[in-house]
Structure 1
Amino acid sequence: MNSHQPELRAAARRLRRRHFLTLTAAAAALAFATDLPAAGAASAAELDPRKITENPFTLGVASGDPLPDSVLLWTRLAPRPLEPDSGLPDKRVLVTWELAHDEAFLRRVTGGTATAHPEFDHTLHVEATGLAPDRQYYYRFRTGTWASPTGRTRTAPARDAVKSRLRLAAVACQAYHHGYYTAHRHLAGEDVDLVVHLGDYLYEYAVDGAGGSRAYTDRRLPAHFDRETTTLADYRLRYALYKSDPDLMAAHAAHPFAVTWDDHETENNYADDTSEDNVPPEEFLLRRAGAYRAYWENQPLRSPQRPVGADMRLYRRLRFGRLAQFDILDTRQYRSERAYGGGWHKPGPESEAASRTMTGETQERWLLDGWKGAGTTWNVVPQQVTFARRRDLPTADYKLSMDAWDGYPAARKRFLDGAEAAGVRNLMVLAGDAHVGYGFDLKKDFDDPASRTVGTEIATTSVSSGKDGSDRPANSDDLLEANPHLKFYNGRRGYTVITLEAERARADFKTVSEVTRTGGTLTTAASFVTEAGRPGLTPA
């Protein structure tokens, strides 16, 4: 046992998370042992870009978190992304970027230079500023003789702009080893303003040399993917594998993303500093620090989201004129430990305790305060897990998921009461996680089907997790009977397109025929609308 471990364990119990890695000398020593580079450190050596002899833009480009006057642009330099050193020496690289009105870059708007630091795995996060609101732009990067693929992005409308329509796509859960990203291929061709990724962007589980269900016959993945991710180096390599997928690259290049995580970006079913396997908190927080750092490095996130040790403020707010406000939540980093050991369980005193939180007190207050005076037609809350009550059986011996909001009913009540107190008239909660598509009416009292409907939940299915799935899962009859507020249920893979307008919102649940083989076709499984001022889903 490490001589500092008892001290660290006690500190973990006292601090629970907050600045754990930076407030004890012992923890700092452990952080050093994990080879976490200091944020903002710069390598002394610089690589001449002319010496890069292989294409460094193998993982494409991405953009995200659009504001009225700016957007975040991302890329990573990695000539050989599936190798531990990515094919670049441990030196910084100067990269130029440009943004234009047209795809040919004849009407250039802005540009500049940025440095890809090895301390950040040669990733770039460029905040392009001084842009016009609600405009489409094209962008690209260059270094040496190499140019990146061209990406397309869009700024948000001005804060008080009257925008008539906003189209977004919701995606989640893309286990690489469960199938191809056929949904992303179709998504790349959609006419949407924004893609919201609701978590499980990657999975920590081992991927065998054949790529799992992808069953490669023309290549073998390196052996270092055939183990669970636990270190910063592991997570970086796993992002490289996922981002090397051409369909995911196409979706990122076509649309700006707003991302949030769930559990698998770190470890299945973790809660705050409690791991699935109940390892000591000080050990798990070291793993979490590496996972969070790799997440920020590989996503189009702005500098306020850059992690400090094992902490990362991912919750944030985006606004699209007077039409919609998006309050993006993090329901993993701050939640109370799952009741009754997690899984599906009968509710009881442990799960129903008033003190239980899904978001933590600070984030909860930020959310409730942010609704006051928002003045938008729609208040959209992208988050990870099923929000509505979801009984598994229509009988008295039903169980609820302790990992979803059913395991935190007091927190859900504070959420809904806060929305009502703030005068939110058109509440829409987005969710992923379950690998199925759900459409729920949110009820004032879930025990009374006739009680007032106070909002809508759109839960998107997975991109690939769960393999092909089916239109009618085996538990369909039980789930629909047990939950009369459940208006749609489908178990195929795909994504959901949501169109927000001043008078109504429309949700198109889109599914693909298969993901365990290439070439799956796209179908709109169902469409629903909810009228502004009259919450509740009706078939379109």
Structure 2
Amino acid sequence: MDRRQFLKYGSFITVSVASGAGLTACGGSSSASADGSATDLPLASGAWKFPQSVASGDPRNDSIMLWTRAVPAAADGVAPAPTASDSAIRLVMTAADNSTALGSSTALSGATVVDIKLPLQSQFDNTVRHKVTGLNPNTVYFYQFVAGDTRSNVGRCKTAPAADADVSQLQFAYMTCQDWSVNHWGAMSSIVGENLDFIVHLGDYIYETVGEDFQLGAVETRHDALTLPDGAFKSGTSGAKYATTLADYRYLYKKYRTDTRLQALHERFAFIAIWDDHEFSDDAWQDAQTYDGTFSITDGSDLHQTGRRRNANQAWFEYMPADVNLDTATTSFQNIKIYRDFQFGKLMQLVMTDERLYRNDHVIPESAVNPATGLPLGRIGSRYLVPQDVYNTVEAQKMAGATTIGLASPLDTVSILGSTQRQWWMDKMKTATATWKLWGNEVSLLRMGLSGVDAIATLLALNAVPTIAASIGSTIAATGGNIPLAGAIVAAATAGATPALAQAGAVAAFTSYSTGGDAAAQGAAAVAAGLSAAQAGIAVATLKAIIDANRGIAGATPAQLAAAGAQTIAFGYIKPDIQAKKADSAFVAASGKKAQLAPFFARFLLNCDQWDGYNSERKALMAHLKTNSIGNVVAITGDIHAFFAGTVNDDFDATGGGTPVMVDLVSAGISSDSFFSYLRDAASALGDIATLVSYPLAIPVTGLGTLSISINLLDYTMGKAAPTVASLLEQVRVQVRGALGAKGLPEAQLDPTTSAVLAGLQANSDFNTSLLALAQQLSGLGNNPWIKHLNTDAQGFTLVTLTPGKLVAQFKQVNKLVGGNAPTSVVARVTTATVTAGAAAVAIS
């Protein structure tokens, strides 16, 4: 940092050079302040405290950023710092091993490389950000702050390897979405036990809202209710509030950092952090908030809140140990640059991007008028569940308009990175010399699409199965108990044959079968009896399905055989008919829900707040990687509260989905409610469409009453492989355990009771037949084949082990609350994603 830039921040940012004998301060003075104010401040005396403990960040091969906050012992730890508390504190740092002192305020032992006086000022809420340079590469250091008679807890950090070093392995965790107000932070206890070089935080370190709908679920008792010092009501004069002032944002960081589990992470590992949206405002872009129904009076877009954005920027800067600059002199909200990169020897280059501060508005703005209502769209249709053809049209129009208004690139109106950062990213990727290029990426690059036509066809076919089965059952008597013949008759009738022709064609097909005729002969006989080719085809298929079921199911009942025939008719005729004719299918009209279903006969993008909403820029980045033969690129991603793994292709809209170029590994949130839970709640009012997301199941448990759980079908709709009964049981294990814990069952009894409940489910026909068939049909939709793993109903974190030959990411899903506490047994399930050097592919185990 040059002296002119340093002076811009007065005595807040301090920089020093470590040495064996002590320390040389920035500017050559004996203090750490370039303008001398630290020298003028007296050393703090008496009793103090460090309510947010200590932290380190941005490890480079010769430097680290250190952080703390100190207040007088009698002060409220999350209130604004007392204005009379300006003073100085000491920082001590050593390379001697002080591992046994971690988690305590024991005085550091060993020779010091830093022992310096630092300014503590209320105008910065008594936070300290001090950069130590001159450190050795790939070295563990321990540090401690001293205020008056009080020592902080001991902190540990590790510098990066030298840029030209051969590195055999790196291990780090990445995490995201740690909402104070819902679920638990037990995952942090698990991360503390890992052997890590550093931690990557991908944003949503805080949540700006208090009392929002998604924050009203169960939460651990150690997290009390948040109370913003100021706050603005999100809707009207009551209900949820959101942070708006500097005091509000500071309060959230201070309160979050009082949790000793988060403190322990910061004490032990350097963080490399970026923000996502909630550090400012949900689904934000630039300085605009997107809360529904509030728009700018100047341009009709989402409400621009420059002052609020600047407050959020400053609070993040003050509380995050990141080696970045903040310019408080400018009036711009883009007064901070957090995108940056890190080199870890020859093994890894880590590129961290900012995907909020420079992005354009969503391609279809929330303020766009819905022609059906005359009102602004809001989030549905703009950010979520966006018709893809509408999106493509609007994006093309905006790109064409960029040229008209004189912008340098058509992408400048539809960008998530902004032109300067986009070019920086391309340059960094092209010039990177490390084996692996990792991208700290806030929002997923994976296409997450949905064919509404296929989904509706599947749902209506499923809904028809019970009615068709009943019809077969009632026809059996008329055929003298011949169930295959009864099924063939109902099949032909369902396909539109008159009762007489249906019977004649079915009898002809069955007669051909009885005399040894194959399927072609049976079909020809049915056509000769008056059926159309389509009617004959479904009649023959149903005949075969029932005969095969009778052979394959020991002691098959008439009901089971009728169900087998009904499945064939529903998915062999009804589904294809709806897929071909869409809303004009007679089966859509017969459902009585044509008007309700009509808007869903389209292809949708599920989430246009992520890279699916900035498709052309994504294609440009992938083309850059492909054209320049830049391999071993892996994005580590957060935001969406789910685990995903898959390939990022050069053009998802091309035939076959395009060519894989890189891999995206998405981690679930630490505590935030899952992507599945959000979509389940949003879809609950959509009738049959809700079945694409969840399946309610009531499970009676002796002595505890009924467990009401929602089975996650969203995974299958989005592309998860078809389940077996065993895999479906394993999928619901965490949910069943959580439901039992919510009933008050002691943790020691949870696992055996969960296993007993699952054993009962295995024999439940609603589970092993109806639900299984539904999940299998949804999986068969074939949406998003590039996604190789997904778990949309989870909390947790990801552990990465990186070697020259491969990247191994362990998705660690955590168990749910037990009563009001985080579970003692934290990790519920580990899924491993492996990327082998030289291939843009991911294997799951």
TM over 0.5: yes
Alignment gaps of 5+ in structure 1: 1-37
> Residue in 1 aligned with 2:90?
96
Say how many residue pairs are matched.
499
Asked if 2 retains the 8 angstrom alpha-carbon contact of 1:383 and 1:431, the reply is: yes
Give the C-alpha shift of residue 339 in structure 1.
Answer: 2.1
Kept in 2: contact 1:205–1:229 (CA 8 A): yes
Q: 2:431 is matched with which residue?
A: 373
Letter in 1 for 2:623: D
The answer as to whether partners of 1:449 and 1:484 remain within 8 angstroms in 2 is no
- For residue 271 of structure 1, report the CA deviation from its aligned partner: 0.8
The DSSP-based 3-state class of the residue aligned with 1:49 is: coil
- 1:288-316: CA deviations, max 9, x gaps? 00000000100011243566552210100
Instruction: Name the residue aligned to 1:324.
Output: 348
Asked which structure has the greater RCO (Cα within 8 Å, sep 6+), the reply is 1
Residue number in structure 2 paired with 1:527: 832
1:286 alignment counterpart: 307
| 1:474-524, Cα deviation, whole Å (9 max, x unpaired) | 301110131111111112111001111101111100111015632252134
| Contact kept? 1:176, 1:211, Cα under 8 Å | no
Taking a change above 3 Å as real, the CA distance of residues 402 and 108 of structure 1, as seen in their structure-2 partners, is: same
Q: Does 1:214 align with 2:272?
A: no
Relative to structure 2, which stretch is displaced further, 73-82 or 118-127?
73-82
The answer for the alignment partner of 2:801 in structure 1 is 499
Q: Given the superposition, is the C-alpha separation of residues 449 and 509 from structure 1 closer, same or farther in structure 2, using an over 3 Å criterion?
A: farther
Compute the displacement of 1:414 (Å). Answer: 1.4
Q: Is the 8 A contact 1:334 1:358 kept in 2?
A: yes
1:205-262 deviation digits (Å, cap 9, x = unpaired): 1159x99743648976557488421000110111111111111111111111100001
Inter-partner Cα distance in structure 1 for 2:352 and 2:119: 29
- For the 8 Å contact 1:498–1:505, the answer to whether it is kept is yes
Q: Find the aligned partners of 1:81 and 1:207 in 2 and give their Cα distance.
A: 23
Distance in 2 of aligned mates of 1:473 and 1:249: 34
Conservation of the 8 A alpha-carbon contact between 2:158 and 2:197:
yes
Report which of the two structures shows the higher radius of gyration computed on alpha carbons. Answer: 2
User: For the structure 1 residues 293 and 81, does the alpha-carbon distance in structure 2 shift closer, same or farther, using more than 3 Å as the test?
Assistant: farther
Measure how far apart 1:444 and its partner are: 2.5
What's the offset of the Cα at 1:450? Answer: 6.7
User: What's the counterpart of residue 784 of structure 2?
Assistant: 483
Task: Give the structure with the larger strand fraction.
Answer: 1
Distance 1:459 1:467, change over 3 A: closer
Partners of 1:193 and 1:211 lie apart in 2 by 36
Q: CA deviation at 1:60?
A: 1.1
Q: 1:114 maps to which residue?
A: 118
User: What's the counterpart of residue 536 of structure 1?
Assistant: 841
Alpha-carbon distance in 2 for matches of 1:265, 1:314? 13
In structure 2, the residue corresponding to 1:351 is in which secondary structure? Answer: helix
Q: Give 1:266's aligned residue.
A: 280
1:125-147 Cα shifts (integer Å, max 9, x gaps): 11111111011111111110111
Distance 1:323 1:493 in 2: 30
Distance 2:142 2:297 in 1: 47
Runs in 1 of length 4+ with deviation above 6 angstroms? 41-45, 217-220, 467-472
Q: Answer yes or no: is 1:458 the counterpart of 2:665.
A: yes
Higher helix share: 2
Question: Is 2:180–2:223's contact at 8 Å kept on the other side of the alignment?
Answer: no
Aligned to 2:692: none
Q: Are residue 136 (structure 1) and residue 140 (structure 2) matched?
A: yes
Residue 92 of structure 1: how far off its partner (Å): 2.2
Structure 1 window deviating more from structure 2 (404-413 vs 520-529): it is: 520-529
1:180 and 2:184 are equivalent in the alignment: yes
* Unpaired stretches in structure 2, ≥5 consecutive residues: 1-7, 13-36, 99-107, 232-239, 367-381, 400-409, 455-600, 678-709, 720-781
1:343 to 383, 396, 404: 383
Q: CA deviation at 1:441?
A: 1.3
Give the aligned partner of residue 252 of structure 1.
266
- 2:323 aligned to which of 302, 306, 329: 302
Match of 1:4 in 2: none
Partner residue of 1:403 out of 598, 609, 614: 609
CA distance in 2, matches of 1:393, 1:476: 14
**8 Å Cα contact 1:296-1:306 kept in structure 2:** no
Deviation at 1:534, TM superposition (A): 1.2
For the residue of structure 2 that corresponds to 1:411, the secondary structure is: helix
Q: What's the TM-score, normalizing by structure 2?
A: 0.56
- Residue 205 of structure 1 is matched in structure 2 by 209
Paired AA for residue 274 in structure 1: A
Please identify, of 423-432 and 101-110, the stretch whose mean Cα deviation from structure 2 is larger: 101-110
Distance 1:220 1:160, change over 3 A: closer
Q: Distance in 2 between matches of 1:362 and 1:218?
A: 41
Q: Percent same amino acid among aligned pairs?
A: 27
Report the Cα distance in structure 1 between the residues aligned to 2:669 and 2:222, rounded to whole angstroms.
Answer: 25
TM-fit CA distance, 1:393: 4.3
Range that drifts further, 142-151 or 467-476: 467-476
Aligned partners of 1:105 and 1:393: how far apart in 2? 63
- Contact (CA 8 Å) 1:91, 1:117: kept in 2 or not? yes
CA distance in 2, matches of 1:487, 1:112: 52
Taking a change above 3 Å as real, the CA distance of residues 179 and 434 of structure 1, as seen in their structure-2 partners, is same
**The 10-residue stretch of structure 1 (492-501 or 113-122) with the greater mean CA deviation from structure 2:** 113-122
Contact 1:140 1:151 in 2 (8 A): yes
The alignment's TM-score, normalised by the length of structure 1, stands at 0.86
- Is 2:149 aligned against 1:149? no
